[in-house]
Structure 1
Amino acid sequence: MHKEITIFNETILPGESKTIHMQIAKLHTMTDLQIPIIVERSKLDGPTVLFSAGLHGDEINGTEIVRQLIVQKINKPKRGTIICMPIINIFGFVNQTREFPDGRDLNRVFPGSKTGSLASRFAHYILQEIIPHVDYAIDFHAGGAQRFNAPQIRIVPNNQELKKLSDVFGAPFTLYSNHISGSFRTSCDHMGTKMLLFEGGKSLDMNQKVTDEAIEGSKRFLKHLKMLATKHQSMEAHATIYITKSDWIRANFSGMFHGLKAIGTFVKKGELLATISDPFGKIEHKVKAPHDGYLINVNDAPIVYQGDAIFHISKELE
């Protein structure tokens, strides 16, 4: 148990609730831009869990998930501490863009630097001020552009503790994914924080089914840690499908995209997935499944260009 938690010079004692406002930089108009860090502590000993979202400012569904954890008071723990950060990249959220104003992807600049770029400074302070207090974390993301992710957890392979936590969370899919240099997840792992990365939905969109999956999984996660308040009930988890290898299917032609298969569907080799047509009614190209597998990402864009990722399909299952 972390008897005292001090974040940006504000101390939160067991049994206390506090919202801390992180401010590293202002807008170019000199307007203050603060990132709320919502801390709820029980009087009883227990671990510290971080629920975070908005590393990419346009991934609004993640922010909605953390918001609902707060609104439903799921973030008030039976024991231990829960820290919620609904929006980390507040600059991107304001502008509805993925990146920081300096053009950098925050999720590629960790561990950051106190004297580096704006994104790098944010990464530095998150790791210095918050993560040392955190035992477990769930970071919520969504698919980029118009690519819709099926609700899924991503963990590194060959980590039995994370696999157990993924089983507990119970997302429809779990994708084995190696650490990426500069990512938040990689830095948390190096600091001893056990993180599940949740993916679901797409950028600049909110999807209630994705949100519900994430909320239920989070409740099961907290229940496993004996942190879920008695008044909250968690649904039984369905068995997650573990994907060890997957492929991206890319458009071989540019044109109007007509997807024919729903996200999460299991398809057979040769099955028709989509058509790509010209706008003038003369040409229609068929997109077929290269092998059996589950569709874990579907492109919702009406127009695609040659080379665009249009489906993510499982290749090998555990």
Structure 2
Amino acid sequence: MREITICEMPSLYRDDFRVKGFVFGSGKKSVSIVGTFRGNEYQQQFIAARLVKRLKELESAGELNEGFEVLIIPSANAYSMNTRKKFWSTDNTDINRAFPGKAEGSTPEIIADGVFNMTKEYEYGIHLASYYMVGSFLPHVRIMKSHLDYFEESAGFMMPYMMIRDPRSYEKTTLNYTWQEAGVKAFSLYSAQTEGIDRNSAHTIIRSILLFLKNKGIISTEILGGYKECAILEEEKRIIPVRTSYAGFFEPKVKVGFEVEKGDLLAEIHDPYTDEVISELRSPVDGVVFFMHSAPMTYSQTAVFKLII
């Protein structure tokens, strides 16, 4: 294992800010794995750290095959995690909306430039992503449509679900999109949690990445488990949102991964002043709970569930 510094900037009050990377093996630049851009992505940081530990063990045991290089960047924004801010703490900028970055730009653009230039030569890019809404997911892999055709390669992760969708306009400055523009086969992996550590879900993501490395011939160790992937195309409209009619305390009656039938009670909304039940959310379809809101309160007209049919 080699530790490298991808980006370094002086700090007024603390030690200099550095973005560190860990390189395993040598040869073809095969896979880069990028962890956190946001200060609340504790689960993603944990997953990346465990991957560094595991690949270090595999390399020491001679189970990292010759001719392949793997790069892991656990965090590109440790500063915001230290100060308990979601975005870059001095100007509230989302680094994952600053790609491909600028060497002489703002601080988030400089960080994005460093990460992008270090990873764009790898054949595959894996981003440990988080969702913009507060909630829990079934672990899955996502691919944005682009000029590249590599959807079938996501089966190498052996995850339960793979989503394929068109990029939104605001996503054209994300790492995933700019990777693909540079010819990198990009995947975003979503865990069950973001702001807390869920070890079971983390294990699922770590295992899926190791399975991918195994299926690409990069590691030789045996990896147990995995699923036969179910592909979900966005245009097929198989993701059904369930929205609230009222704001209030959110009390779920199911969990992510539950199978539900049409009419099943998903959650209650309670009046925040009287605790009376002011709304019941019932499943509009037979399906599986793919996403669930996890904050204690919700706004009106919020998609607090997403169901797969």
TM-score (norm 1): 0.85
Number of corresponding residues: 294
Match of 1:142 among 126, 130, 142: 130
- Counterpart of 2:250 in structure 1: which amino acid? F
Provide the rounded CA distance (Å) in 2 between the counterparts of 1:214 and 1:36: 21
Q: Structure 2 vs 1, CA of residues 23 and 125 (structure 1 numbering), >3 Å: closer, same or farther?
A: closer
Is residue 302 from structure 1 mapped to residue 290 from structure 2 by the alignment? no
Provide the rounded CA distance (Å) in 2 between the counterparts of 1:157 and 1:22: 28
Superimposed CA distance per residue, residues 112-143 of structure 1 (whole angstroms, 9 cap, x where no aligned partner) = 22222211121122222x12331112111234
- Counterpart of 2:4 in structure 1: which amino acid? I
- Counterpart of 2:218 in structure 1: which amino acid? M
- Counterpart of 1:293 in structure 2: which amino acid? G
- Per the alignment, residue 20 of structure 2 pairs with 36
- Counterpart of 2:22 in structure 1: which amino acid? I
- Per the alignment, residue 162 of structure 2 pairs with 174
Report matched runs for 1:27-176 at 5 Å: 27-29=11-13, 31-42=15-26, 45-73=27-55, 76=59, 77-79=64-66, 80-101=68-89, 102-128=91-117, 130-144=118-132, 146-157=134-145, 162-176=150-164
Aligned-residue CA RMSD (Å): 2.2
Give how far 1:164 is off: 2.3
Is residue 221 from structure 1 mapped to residue 212 from structure 2 by the alignment? yes
Report matched runs for 1:238-257 at 5 Å: 238-244=227-233, 245=237, 246-257=239-250
Q: Structure 2 vs 1, CA of residues 28 and 311 (structure 1 numbering), >3 Å: closer, same or farther?
A: farther
Q: Structure 2 vs 1, CA of residues 125 and 47 (structure 1 numbering), >3 Å: closer, same or farther?
A: closer
Report matched runs for 1:169-318 at 5 Å: 169-179=157-167, 180-228=171-219, 230=220, 232-244=221-233, 245=237, 246-279=239-272, 280-315=274-309
- Structure 1 outlier segments of 4+, above 4 Å: 157-161
What SS does the corresponding residue of 1:34 show, helix, strand or coil? strand
Instruction: Mark the runs of 5 or more structure 2 residues left unpaired by the alignment.
Output: none
Q: Note if contact 1:115-1:121 (Cα within 8 Å) is conserved in structure 2.
A: yes
Q: Say which is worse superposed, 196-205 or 274-283, in terms of deviation.
A: 274-283
Give how far 1:214 is off: 0.9
Provide the rounded CA distance (Å) in 2 between the counterparts of 1:97 and 1:264: 30
Give how far 1:30 is off: 5.2
Give how far 1:111 is off: 1.2
What SS does the corresponding residue of 2:104 show, helix, strand or coil? coil
Q: Structure 2 vs 1, CA of residues 39 and 281 (structure 1 numbering), >3 Å: closer, same or farther?
A: closer
- Counterpart of 1:283 in structure 2: which amino acid? V
- Counterpart of 1:66 in structure 2: which amino acid? A
- Per the alignment, residue 4 of structure 1 pairs with none
Q: Note if contact 2:24-2:55 (Cα within 8 Å) is conserved in structure 1.
A: no
Give how far 1:159 is off: 8.0
Give how far 1:145 is off: 5.5
Provide the rounded CA distance (Å) in 1 between the counterparts of 2:84 and 2:243: 26
Q: Structure 2 vs 1, CA of residues 158 and 109 (structure 1 numbering), >3 Å: closer, same or farther?
A: closer
Q: Note if contact 1:51-1:84 (Cα within 8 Å) is conserved in structure 2.
A: yes
Q: Structure 2 vs 1, CA of residues 172 and 159 (structure 1 numbering), >3 Å: closer, same or farther?
A: farther
Q: Structure 2 vs 1, CA of residues 158 and 265 (structure 1 numbering), >3 Å: closer, same or farther?
A: farther
What SS does the corresponding residue of 2:172 show, helix, strand or coil? coil
- Counterpart of 2:271 in structure 1: which amino acid? D
Q: Say which is worse superposed, 192-201 or 171-180, in terms of deviation.
A: 171-180
- Counterpart of 1:26 in structure 2: which amino acid? P
Q: Note if contact 1:162-1:195 (Cα within 8 Å) is conserved in structure 2.
A: no
Give how far 1:72 is off: 2.0
What SS does the corresponding residue of 1:189 show, helix, strand or coil? helix
Q: Note if contact 1:268-1:289 (Cα within 8 Å) is conserved in structure 2.
A: yes
